[in-house]
A = this chain, B = another copy of it.
Amino acid sequence: MTIELISIGTELLLGQIVDTNAAWLSARLAEIGVGVYRRTTVGDNRERIIAALREGLARADGIITIGGLGPTDDDLTREAIAAVLGEPLVLDEGEVARLKAFFALRGREANERQLRQAMRPASAQPIPNPNGTAPGLYAEWQGKPIIAMPGPPNEFQPMATDHVLPRLAERTGGRVIRSRVLRLCGIGESDAETQLQDLIQSENPTLAPLAKLGEVHFRITARADSPAEAEQMIAQTERAVRERLGAYIFGIDETTLEQAVVESLVEAGQSLAIAESCTGGLLGHRITSVPGSSEVFLGGVISYSNVLKESLLGVPREVLETHGAVSEPTARAMAEGTRLRLGSWWGVGITGIAGPGGGSPDKPVGLVYVGLSDPSGTVVRSQIFAGDRATVKYRATQYALWLLYKGVKQGGCDSLSRL
């Protein structure tokens, strides 16, 4: 089955917003075996929307529009679809009731403009929108679906996930779609793909890799006749992935690495303090982006200057003078100093060269040492990261979080084998 996407909105043609909806939906459609033949973006102009709809219906097996369903005069998608169907717009009483209730709940009355959103082409069905005022629309023209969804991503994505994709999946086999993302760290995309090649070639469930900075995600998507069957298919693929790459999986779906770290610390009942040099606060920022991190995160020191490495962390001056600020012994002393001076179970120390300046043949830009210390001992690891200043900083924090995660999970520094 092929679909054409039509994004509607003059603000898109003026470049005031980037059309992330179209990319998101394209990826979800690919996962259920629906090909996107073409994408079109048109402005808020009735005749141009009608033309785009007609052209799309001539080429593909169905149309999905995004945007133009709101209450203002610029919102013309309903009218355009009615014109293509050759039908009048009628008031959907169910949606009128829902809109009135929506506004009553907010102490307001639904005005005439708002109630326009309850209009639909006579043969179309409304698609529920629990997150906003404009319902979606489902119609058919010569057996081809015409589906209209609102533009705000927080309304569009749930509607697509809960209603539109399952409906299209029925046509491609399997009424129910479920998906799960496995998140990996500590392994490169191509290595991971090589080990999962056979699973990636499967058509249902699909397994799609997605490379992120410093991590790799695999999205499992299953189509089946029931939720239980889809979940079972996903579980089976997940098991196969875990058998091969379980050591690298830190979470599923929306779980970030910093969340996984905080959760592992909460579970272990262990506290954390950090010392950052080249990352300048980014590690602390990432950890404190997790709600509830204060339960385990005491704080840290941004020891950007050597003076602070000495005064706040107790890194011996001889170490700094003999080995330099970017060195294994300094990272070790930072991790241990943090733990002891700040009174935490775990101490992390990061020192490196984020660039663009400051590199040397011995110590190139991108060289980063991470020290990790707990009552059982201290380990130091180093890496040379490619990329600009922002990338090196990010990858350094990613590496530190990953080491810490493995350390907590494996029960301490002494059991932390070479990663």
Chain B proximity mask over A293-306: 1 for CB below 8 Å, otherwise 0: 11001111111110
**Range of interface residues on A (Cβ < 8 Å):** 35 or more
Closest Cβ of chain B to A3, distance in Å, is 10
Quote the shortest CB–CB distance from A68 to chain B (angstroms): 15
The B-contacting residues of A in range 274-309, CB under 8 angstroms, are 274, 276, 278-289, 291-294, 297-305, 307-308
Q: Is the CB of B15 within 8 A of A18?
A: no
Kindly list chain B residues whose C-beta atoms are within 8 Å of the C-beta of A103: none
Query: Does chain B have a CB within 8 A of A105?
Result: no
Bound together, the chains give a CA A349 to CA B40 distance in angstroms of: 50
Are the C-beta atoms of B26 and A14 separated by less than 8 Å? yes
> Contact at A288–B304, with CB atoms within 8 Å?
yes
The reply to whether the CB of A183 lies closer than 8 angstroms to some CB of chain B is no
A41 at interface, CB cutoff 8 A: yes
Which residues A5-33 have CB closer than 8 A to chain B? 12-20, 22-30
Whether A42 is near chain B, meaning CB under 8 Å from some CB there, is: yes
- The reply to whether A285 and B291 form a contact with Cβ atoms under 8 Å apart is no
* Chain B CB within 10 Å, residue with most, of A288, A289, A311, A389: A288
Write out the residue numbers on chain B whose beta carbons fall within 8 Å of the beta carbon of A304.
284, 288, 293-294, 297-300
**Max chain B C-beta neighbours (<10 A), residue from A13, A26, A297:** A13
With A40-B38, A288-B280: A27-B16 Cβ-Cβ less than 8 Å: yes
Residues of B within 8 A of A279 (CB): 285, 288
Query: Are the CB atoms of A307 and B14 closer together than 8 Å?
Result: no
- Is B312 a contact partner of A301 (Cβ separation < 8 A)? yes
- In the assembled complex, the CB of A92 is this many whole angstroms from the nearest CB of chain B, namely 31
- Residue A163 at the B interface, CB < 8 A? no
Contact call B36/A13, Cβ cutoff below 8 A: yes
A27 touches B42 (CB 8 A): no
Most buried by B among A12, A342, A355: A342
Q: Is A323 an interface residue (CB 8 A)?
A: no
A228 in contact (CB, < 8 A): no
Assess whether A363 is interfacial by the CB under 8 Å rule: no
- Encode A62-73 as 1/0 by CB contact (under 8 A) with B: 000000000000
Contact A302 B300 (CB under 8 A): yes
Select one of B12, B281, B302, B342 contacting A39, CB under 8 A. Answer: B12
Whether a CB of chain B sits under 8 angstroms from the CB of A357 is yes
Closest beta carbon of chain B to A138's beta carbon, Å: 22
- For A283, what are the chain B residues with a Cβ–Cβ distance below 8 Å? 281
Tell me the smallest distance from the CB of A356 to a CB of chain B, in Å. 6
Q: At the interface, yes or no: A343 with Cβ under 8 Å from chain B?
A: yes
A28, A276, A285, A357 interface centre (most CB from chain B within 10 Å): A285
A48 within 8 A of B: yes
The reply to whether B393 and A285 form a contact with Cβ atoms under 8 Å apart is yes
Q: A14 — which chain B residues lie within 8 A by C-beta?
A: 26-27, 30, 36
Smallest CB gap from A24: residue in B = B15
A23 partner residues in chain B, CB cutoff 8 A? 12, 15, 17-19
Identify which of A38, A297, A355 gathers the most chain B CB atoms within 10 Å of its CB: A38
A342-B308 contact given A12-B26, A24-B15, CB 8 Å threshold: yes
A165 to chain B, nearest CB (A): 13
Contact with B along A331-366 (1 / 0, CB 8 A): 000000000001100000000001111000000000
Closest 3 CB pairs of A and B: A281-B284, A280-B288, A15-B27
For this complex, 17 residue pairs linking A to B, each with C-beta atoms less than 8 Å apart, are A14-B26, A15-B36, A19-B19, A38-B48, A274-B302, A280-B281, A280-B289, A280-B293, A280-B297, A281-B288, A288-B304, A289-B393, A291-B356, A291-B357, A297-B304, A299-B302, A301-B312
Q: Given A13-B39, A18-B19, A280-B297, list of 13 further CB < 8 A pairs?
A: A15-B30, A17-B23, A19-B23, A22-B41, A280-B285, A280-B288, A284-B304, A289-B390, A293-B304, A297-B304, A299-B303, A300-B301, A302-B302
